[in-house]
Amino acid sequence: MTDYSQIFEQCRQLLDERIIQDDQIPRNVRRAAKKAIEILEDEGQSPGVRASTAISTLEEVVNDQNTPEYARPVLLQVIAALEQVRDEV
C-alpha cells in the first residue's frame, strides 16, 4: 500500500464506522460520506483529484446546520487527512 492508499483507507474506515453506520446522523450526511468513499475508491483518477473531489463533497455537509455537532470533528479529521494528499500531489 502506498501512503495515499493508507490515508484513503483510514478515511474510509472513519466515514463508515463513525458516520455511515450511525443512524442518528441525517441521511444527507451519510449519503455524502458514501459518495466520498466511492470517490476515494475510484482508481481511474489520480490521488490528488480523488482527494479534492471527496473534500468538496464532505465540505458541503460539514457546515450544514442539520449535521450533528459530534459528527463535525470526524468530517473535519477526514478533510484534513485528504488535504495532505491533495497538497502533496
Is the Cβ–Cβ distance between 78 and 12 less than 8 Å?
A: no
The alpha-carbon radius of gyration of the chain (Å, integer) is 12
Is the per-residue pLDDT at 17 higher than 90?
Answer: yes
Nearest to 49, CA basis, from 89, 8, 5: 89
pTM of the full structure: 0.93
Is the per-residue pLDDT at 30 higher than 70?
Answer: yes
Could you tell me the residue range of the domain that residue 78 belongs to? 3-88
What percentage of the chain carries pLDDT values higher than 90?
Answer: 89
Number of domains in the chain: 1
- The reported pLDDT for the residue numbered 1 is 46
Is the Cβ–Cβ distance between 29 and 67 less than 8 Å?
A: yes
Nearest to 19, CA basis, from 82, 84, 68: 68
Residues sharing a CB contact under 8 Å with residue 89, sequence separation 6 or more, in sequence order = 46, 47, 48, 51
CATH assignment of the domain containing 16: 1.20.1440.50
Mean pLDDT of 31-36: 98
